[in-house]
Amino acid sequence: MVVGWAAGGSLTLDFAMEADLPGLRIPEPQPYRRVHGLWQHTCFEVFVMAEEGSGYREFNFSPSGEWAVYAFHGYREGRELEVDLGPGIVVRRTGDRLELDAEICRDFLPPGRSLRLGLSAVLEDADGVLSYWALQHPPGKPDFHHADAFALQLVLP
């Protein structure tokens, strides 16, 4: 996983996974579009919260090229955002490696100069069983929305 800033100030995310890809259900390429419920299958996610306040954004990126964006004003209290993410998602699959690059326009990030990020992935195996991966999980069952999952701190350029 590589996180950075593009020249125009967009947040860039480069997810990479090495695994037995035939043992996973990887969504087939689809038209670039907004789709609700991507977390029910293999997808990559980033949760972004301003250092101050309880509001945050959730961005879902599927290897299919589909995406979703949600805005929350408190823990799991929010709605889907009607936005166009811009340049889209780039997916590469070679051998046992899956890579997904995504870019988030600065305008879609929570306000503030210092941000906390929760980086995560949902993987669906060939039998339909989901596993949950994150930079950091809170105590107990996986919960990407929990404040303890926002483990990476970034400062806007």
Res 53: pLDDT: 79
The yes-or-no verdict on residue 86 having pLDDT over 70 is no
> Which tokens is 16 given?
């990479």
pTM > 0.85: yes or no: yes
Return the beta strands (E) in 19-66 as ranges: 43-50, 56-61
pLDDT single digits (tens) 96-112: 999 999 999 998 998 88
Domains by residue range for the chain, with CATH:
2-155 (2.60.40.1190)
> Which tokens is 110 given?
């929570």
Q: Nearest CA to 45 among 26, 70, 19, 10?
A: 70
> Cβ(95)–Cβ(76) under 8 Å?
no
Confidence of residue 88 (pLDDT cuts 50, 70, 90): confident
What dihedral do alpha carbons 126, 1, 45, 9 form, nearest 10°?
Answer: -150
Res 49: pLDDT: 95
**Gap between the Cα atoms of 74 and 130, Å rounded:** 26
- For residues 130-134, average pLDDT: 97
The yes-or-no verdict on residue 87 having pLDDT over 70 is no
